[in-house]
Structures are given as structure tokens and as C-alpha cells.
């Protein structure tokens, strides 16, 4: 069975400081992994995806994620938070590309 656990429901950071949003996954196979962002009252937008070509994945807006198979983790990072990064972030796993399993989300607050 596949599943995703986002370890923090809320994260607060000061503007200009690093961001770390944690995600652990469970999968019997080599999964596809994604991070999506949802700004208030908006749909979801893809930040980045793990393609197995490289364990360190670069996405939009300066975000990165590192796939660690030994730790079954896919944590999202950004060196310096911006006010516009305040949003809900979802980690997603898929084994088949048919069904996608979302984490419960991490709400990121950026303090000016």
C-alpha cells in the first residue's frame, strides 16, 4: 500500500530564513513523488517531481527536494523564504500513475 505522511501540519519561518517541509512515503515499488502548492482559494500547482534521473530535484520558485530511498523521505527545502511562499504544500505519491495519494498538507506561514 502506498501512503504519504507530512510530518508537520504547520510551519512558521521568518522571511529570508530557510524552509524545510518534511515528507515520508510508504511504497512497495519505486514511486513517483511530487510536491504541489496551493495558495488560498486557488487550485494546486506543481512545484517539482521526482523522476529517478537525480535524487536532488529542482523546482519552481527556488524550491528543491531530495529523494532518500533509505529514509523513504522526500523533504522540500528552500534557502530563503519569501512572503509569497505562504501557502499550503502537499506531498504526493503514485506507484502506477493512475491513483495519487496526497499527504494531509503543511501550512507554511512566513513572518515578515
Partner 1 sequence: NAGVTQTPKFQVLKTGQSMTLQCAQDMNHNSMYWYRQDPGMGLRLIYYSASEGTTDKGEVPNGYNVSRLNKREFSLRLESAAPSQTSVYFCASSVFSGLPYNEQFFGPGTRLTVL
67 binds partner 1 (CB under 8 A): no
Tally Cβ neighbours within 10 Å of residue 111. 11
Q: Which stretch binds partner 1 (CB under 8 A): 13-21, 33-41, 66-74, 79-87?
A: 33-41
Contact stretch for partner 1 (CB under 8 A) within 14-22, 34-42, 65-73, 77-85: 34-42
Residue 96, SS3?
Answer: coil
Q: Which of 1, 40, 99, 112 binds partner 1 (CB under 8 A)?
A: 99
55 is an interface residue for partner 1 by CB under 8 A = no
Q: Which of 14, 16, 46, 79 forms a contact with partner 1 (CB under 8 A)?
A: 46
Q: Which of 37, 28, 22, 69 is nearest to 50 (CA)?
A: 69
Q: Which stretch binds partner 1 (CB under 8 A): 15-23, 49-57, 63-71, 74-82?
A: 49-57
Closest listed residue to residue 52, CA positions, set 22, 11, 95, 91:
95
- Residues binding partner 1 (CB under 8 A): 9, 32, 34, 36, 41-46, 49-52, 90, 94, 96-105
Amino acid at each position: 500500500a502506498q501512503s504519504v505522511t507530512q510530518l508537520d501540519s504547520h510551519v512558521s519561518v521568518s522571511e529570508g530564513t530557510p524552509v524545510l517541509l518534511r515528507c515520508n512515503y510508504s511504497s512497495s515499488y519505486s514511486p513517483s513523488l511530487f510536491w504541489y502548492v496551493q495558495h488560498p482559494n486557488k487550485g494546486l500547482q506543481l512545484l517539482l517531481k521526482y523522476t529517478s534521473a537525480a535524487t536532488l530535484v529542482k523546482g519552481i520558485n527556488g524550491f528543491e527536494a531530495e529523494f532518500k530511498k533509505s529514509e523513504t523521505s522526500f523533504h522540500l527545502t528552500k534557502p530563503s523564504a519569501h512572503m509569497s511562499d505562504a501557502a499550503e504544500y502537499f506531498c504526493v505519491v503514485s506507484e502506477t500513475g493512475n491513483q495519487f495519494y496526497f499527504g494531509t498538507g503543511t501550512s507554511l506561514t512566513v513572518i515578515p
